[in-house]
Amino acid sequence: MRLLFSTGLLGLAWFAAINLAASALTWLAARSVLEPGRTARSGVLLMLRLLPACAATLFVAALFLPAHLRFEPAESDETFGAILLILTALGVWSVARSIRRVLEVAADARRARRWRLVPVDTAAGHAYEVGGFPGVSLAGVLRTRILIGSSARASLTADELDLAIAHECAHRLSLDNLKRCAMFCAPDFFGSTDVAKRVESRWRAQAEQEADVRAVAGDERRAMSLASALLKVARLGTRTGSQPSSPVWSAFSEPPLLEVRIRQLVSGCAGRPEERRLPRHLGMTLAAGTAAFIWFADPSYDLHLLTEALVATLP
C-alpha cells in the first residue's frame, strides 16, 4: 500500500514537471507558428496544442510507472520535500480539471440524448431536426449526429441545406469533434495561456475552411450555396443570440470566422480538397521512434536512480 501511495505521488510530480517543461517549449514553438503571415495546417496546430499533455502522459505511463514499480522496494519509507509536494499538487490540479471537463462533455451528451429528434434525409447525408436548436451543428464526440434547428431548416433552400450538411459531414470525416474534445479536456498547463487559446482559435479557423473545401469540392455553384447558407444561419444566430450548448461541438457559422470563409467561397479560393498526410505521418513517426527508444535503450533503471536522487536532494 505504501508503494502504491508513493508511486502515485511521484507519478503526479513527474507528470507536472514534464508537463511544465513541455508547455514552456510548446509555448515558444507556438509563438513562432502564430507569427503574422505564417500559415499552419490544422494537423500541425493540433499536435502543438496536445504536445504537453501527450508528452507528460507518455513519460509517466511508459517510463516512470514501470520503472518505479519494478525497482522500488515494497516497504520503502520515503519523505517528500516541498518542491515535490508542490509538483504533486500541480499534477492533481491538472488531472482534476481534465476530469471535470470530461464530465461536462458527458453531461452535454446525456442532455442531447433527451432531445426530441426528427430525422431528415438529404442528398448530402442524414441529419436530425431539433425544435429550438440554434443553427446547424455536428453534435457528439464518438457517436456524432448532425443537428439542424427548425428555424434554420425553414430558412434554407434545398441546395443550401445539402451544403450545410455536407460541411458537417466533412467535420465528421475529419473527427473534428474528437479533436475539439481532446484540446478542451487535455490535462496540461499550456492550455491556460493566451498562446494556447490562439492556437485553438487558429485550429478552428483552419478546420472550418478545410470543411468548406471538402463540402464544395471545387464547384463554384456549391461554393455560392454554402456562402448563402452561412449568411442565413448567421442572421438567425444574431437574432437568437444562441450557440451550441457544448464547447466540443462544431458551430456551422462562428461569427469571428464568417467573413473570411465567405470571402474565400465567393472568390473561388475554396478549391478541391488535398490529401494532407504529413502531420499524421509525422505523429506516427514520433510515436514509433519513442517506442523504439524505450524498447532498445530501456532507461527504466537510470530513471529510477534519478527519481531516488531527486527525492533525496530536493528541498
Three-class SS of residue 147? strand
Residue 276 in any domain: the answer is no
pLDDT tier for residue 240 given thresholds of 50, 70 and 90: low
The C-alpha cell that represents 273 in the structure block: 480538397
Pick from 1, 22, 18: which is nearest to 64 by CA? 18
Cα–Cα separations (whole angstroms), residue 36 to 32, 33, 39: 9, 9, 8
pLDDT in tens, 162-188: 999 999 999 999 999 999 999 999 999
- Domain that residue 41 falls in: 2-108+287-313
Residue 31: the pLDDT is 92
Q: Are residues 167 and 75 in the same domain?
A: no
State whether 101 and 136 are in the same domain. Answer: no
What stretch of H or E contains 248? Answer: none
- Total residues found in the chain within this entry: 315
Sheet holding 145-149, edge to edge: 118-121, 126-130, 145-149, 136-139
Could you tell me if residue 153 is inside a domain? yes
Question: Can you tell me the distance from the alpha carbon of 287 to that of 172, in angstroms, rounded to the nearest whole number?
Answer: 25
Same-domain status, 30 and 157 = no
d(C-alpha 60, C-alpha 54), whole Å: 10
Nearest 10 degrees: Cα torsion 122, 128, 132, 135: -50
pLDDT digits (tens, 9 = 90+) for 114-138: 888 888 887 778 899 988 787 899 9
What does the pLDDT read at residue 45? Answer: 93
**247 and 122: one domain?**
yes
Do 37 and 141 reside in the same domain of the chain? no
Q: Residue 280's pLDDT is what?
A: 55
271 pLDDT tier (thresholds 50, 70, 90): low
In a shared domain, residues 128 and 253 = yes
The H or E element spanning position 112 is helix 82-113
Q: Is the pLDDT score of 292 beyond 70?
A: no
DSSP-assigned beta bridge partners for residue 128: 119, 147
Residue 50, C-beta contacts closer than 8 angstroms, at least 6 positions apart = 182, 183, 186
Distance CA 33, CA 167 (A): 27
Is residue 299 one of the residues assigned to a domain?
yes
Q: Among 18-32, 38-52, 69-83, 89-103, whose mean pLDDT is lowest?
A: 69-83
pLDDT at 38 over 60: yes
pLDDT at 2 over 90: no
On whether residue 273 sits in a domain, the answer given is no
Asked if residue 282 is part of any domain, the answer here is no
Mean pLDDT for all residues in the chain? 84
Domain-embedded: residue 102: yes
Domain count, the chain: 2
Show contacts of 78-85: CB within 8 Å, 24+ apart: 78/6, 78/311, 80/9, 80/13, 80/311, 81/311, 81/314, 81/315, 82/315, 83/314, 83/315, 84/9, 84/10, 84/13, 84/310, 84/311, 84/314
Q: Same domain for 159 and 259?
A: yes
**CA separation for the pair 187, 176 (Å, rounded):** 19
Q: Are 136 and 171 in contact (CB under 8 A)?
A: no
Do 256 and 179 belong to one domain? yes
pLDDT tens by residue, 67-106: 877 777 766 666 778 898 999 999 999 999 999 999 999 9
Residue 274 lies in a domain: no
Task: With respect to residue 227, please indicate whether it lies within any of the assigned structural domains.
Answer: yes
- Give the model's pLDDT for residue 222: 92
32 with 147, same domain? no
> Does one domain contain both 126 and 257?
yes
Residue 80 shares a structural domain with residue 136: no
List alpha helices for 114-175, DSSP H: 150-155, 158-173
Task: Evaluate if residue 295 carries a pLDDT over 60.
Answer: no
3-state secondary structure of 98: helix
Burial state string for 173-197 with b = 16 or more CB within 10 A and e = fewer than 16: ebebbebbbbbbbbbbbbbebebbe
Average pLDDT over residues 139-162: 90
CA distance 99 to 6: 22
In this structure, the answer to whether residues 76 and 129 fall within a common structural domain is no
